[in-house]
């Protein structure tokens, strides 16, 4: 039985500065709140109706719902937490937060169902840590995996915790159905406008890799769009679906030359149009034609939608795990594990094409690091040529510097700064730096900034990080 040990008594000040504070702060933003439809992570109030469990089945590509009972928890099998029912109280009478291993619990959930050294059968979550743990599962998009573990009997939790999982999972599955329906509308607009695109990330992975789409939750629509028609695609969606752009362009022409994505909002759903896959130098090094060199499809709503080829899909998953959110989301590591393991839907991942594409994109260090992190964090116990290759890879000083620029609170600014060295000409570098240092008035007003605020903020965040 995995039982959390009581932490040593500390003062409130020392407790607040614990090493896990950064991870908890992300979870605390949505603790007790509804999951987000957007990157702002806002949502309507939680329903108090009877909780239910939902399983998504692919019927003509769209999810239909059945409501299987999770079963009754055997009290003899379910670990007891009564001995931990008393909170720690300081000398002043104020509660002191326990140092619960929430991130470890979330990693256990992310590894459920995999050949892994991690186990869920002895998971015990104290009631005072439950809200934080549930929020972390939502933030890391592993709530579907937790619900599946409960249904399969691989995890035993008290009734009130099971009901919370059922209720939140039901909300997320309904949300994902809305996202998929909106994707079909967006795809129709782009096809009508003659714009080539590829479906990325959550929707594509859920419907082409995971054995059950309900295991892979997602929050929005991500599409790679032909760079020659990048801005035109956004204009077509805005006109046809009354979509609104989240932020103005940094400077006129910036999106077409240097931008990673244009964020639109259509009927409450966020639509991210990608010119390239990630920010910073690694995004600028990607030959954009490679994204459309191979066309694979998956079925959704009776339609065949295009996705990336298998090597590009895997390299992108590695980029999302290492260069995306910070701290990284566990679902990104689960994506890598699913692709490595393969299966009836995912197919067999060949090592040589992945290594060749990673070298072409100058992302070898990214792919190797993502694989090593996935194996270590999820306790993955499997054999694959890419795992052996990644374990033996060591990045050079330049790669370590580039990877470090994507970490920490100032990562948005540090990765932008190093992007200068990825641009091919001095003219491009001059225009890029000018756009970063002197954004348009419309952009500043939309962000609530003044001239010089972005530079001062970047310097300040970097100083705090050090």
The pLDDT, as a whole number, for residue 260 is 83
The pLDDT, as a whole number, for residue 167 is 94
Range in 17-31, 170-184, 291-305, 404-418 the model is least confident about: 17-31
Q: Band of the pLDDT at 408, cuts 50, 70, 90?
A: confident
Q: What is the 3-state secondary structure (H, E, C) of the chain?
A: CCCCCCCCCCCHHHHHCCCCHHHHHHHHCCCCCCCCCCCCCCCCCCCCCCCCCCEEEEECCEEEEECCCCCCCCCCCCCCCHHHCCCCECCCCCECCCCCCHHHHHHHHHCCCCCECCCCCCCCCCHHHHHHHHHHHHHCCCHHHHHHHHHHCCCCCCHHHHHHHHHHHHHHHHHHHHHHHHHHHHHHHHHHCCCCEEECHHHHHHHHCCCCHHHCCCCCEEEEECHHHHHHHHHHHHHHHCCEECCCCCCCCHHHHCCCEEEEEECCEEEEEECCCCCHHHHHCCCHHHHHCCCEEEEECCEEEEECCHHHHHHHHHHHHHHCCCCCCHHHHHHHHHHHHCCCCCCCCCHHHHHHHHHHCCCHHHHHHHHHHHHHHCCECCCCHHHHHHHHCCCCHHHHHHHHCCCCCCHHHHHHHHHHHHCCCHHHHHHHHHHHHCCCHHHHHHHCCCCCHHHHHHHHHHHHHC
pLDDT, the chain, mean: 78
Q: Band of the pLDDT at 441, cuts 50, 70, 90?
A: confident
Domain residue ranges of the chain, discontinuous segments joined by +: 24-37+44-83+96-172
Which of 90-99, 168-177, 415-424 reaches the highest mean pLDDT? Answer: 168-177
Which of 97-106, 178-187, 224-233, 416-425 reaches the highest mean pLDDT? Answer: 178-187
The pLDDT, as a whole number, for residue 200 is 96
Q: Band of the pLDDT at 98, cuts 50, 70, 90?
A: low
Mean pLDDT computed over 334-345: 89
The pLDDT, as a whole number, for residue 328 is 87
Q: Which residue has the higher pLDDT, 251 or 335?
A: 335
The pLDDT, as a whole number, for residue 384 is 94
Q: Band of the pLDDT at 100, cuts 50, 70, 90?
A: confident
Q: Band of the pLDDT at 122, cuts 50, 70, 90?
A: confident
Whether residue 354 is predicted with pLDDT greater than 60 in this model: the reply is yes
Mean pLDDT computed over 296-310: 94
Range in 26-30, 97-101, 413-417 the model is least confident about: 26-30
Q: How many residues does the chain have?
A: 466
């Amino acid at each position: 039985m995995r039982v959390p040990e009581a932490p040593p008594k500390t003062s409130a000040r020392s407790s607040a500065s614990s090493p896990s504070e950064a991870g908890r702060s992300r979870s605390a933003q949505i603790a007790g709140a509804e999951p987000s439809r957007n990157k702002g992570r806002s949502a309507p109030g939680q329903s108090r109706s009877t909780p239910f469990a939902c399983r998504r089945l692919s019927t003509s590509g769209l999810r239909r719902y059945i409501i299987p009972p999770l079963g009754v928890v055997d009290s003899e099998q379910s670990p007891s937490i009564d001995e931990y029912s008393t909170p720690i109280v300081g000398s002043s009478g104020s509660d002191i937060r326990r140092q619960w291993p929430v991130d470890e619990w979330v990693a256990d959930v992310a590894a459920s169902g995999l050949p892994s050294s991690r186990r869920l059968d002895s998971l015990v979550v104290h009631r005072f840590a439950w809200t934080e743990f549930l929020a972390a599962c939502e933030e890391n998009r592993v709530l579907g995996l937790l619900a599946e573990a409960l249904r399969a009997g691989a995890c035993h939790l008290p009734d009130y915790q099971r009901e919370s999982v059922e209720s939140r999972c039901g909300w997320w599955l309904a949300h994902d159905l809305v996202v998929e329906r909106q994707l079909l509308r967006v795809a129709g607009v782009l096809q009508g406008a003659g714009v080539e695109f590829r479906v990325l990330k959550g929707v594509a992975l859920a419907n082409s890799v995971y054995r059950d789409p309900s295991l892979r939750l997602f929050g929005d629509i991500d599409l790679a769009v032909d760079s020659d028609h990048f801005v035109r695609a956004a204009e077509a969606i805005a006109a046809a679906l009354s979509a609104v752009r989240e932020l103005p362009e940094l400077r006129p022409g910036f999106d077409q030359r240097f931008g990673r994505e244009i964020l639109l909002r259509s009927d409450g759903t966020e639509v991210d149009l990608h010119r390239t896959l990630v920010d910073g130098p690694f995004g600028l090094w990607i030959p954009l034609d490679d994204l459309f060199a191979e066309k694979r499809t998956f079925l959704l709503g009776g339609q065949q939608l295009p996705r990336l080829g298998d090597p590009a899909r895997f390299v992108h998953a590695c980029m999302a795990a290492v260069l995306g959110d910070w701290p990284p989301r566990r679902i990104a590591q689960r994506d890598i594990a699913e692709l490595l393991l393969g299966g009836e839907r995912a197919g067999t991942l060949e090592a040589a094409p992945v290594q060749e594409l990673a070298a072409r994109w100058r992302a070898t260090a990214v792919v190797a690091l993502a694989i090593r992190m996935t194996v270590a964090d999820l306790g993955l116990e499997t054999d694959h040529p890419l795992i052996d290759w990644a374990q033996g890879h060591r990045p050079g000083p330049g790669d370590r510097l580039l990877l470090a620029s994507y970490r920490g609170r100032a990562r948005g600014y540090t990765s932008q700064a190093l992007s200068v060295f990825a641009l091919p000409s001095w003219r491009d570098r001059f225009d890029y730096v000018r756009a970063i240092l002197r954004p348009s008035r419309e952009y500043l007003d939309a962000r609530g900034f003044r001239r010089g605020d972005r530079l001062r903020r970047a310097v300040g965040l970097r100083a705090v990080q050090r």
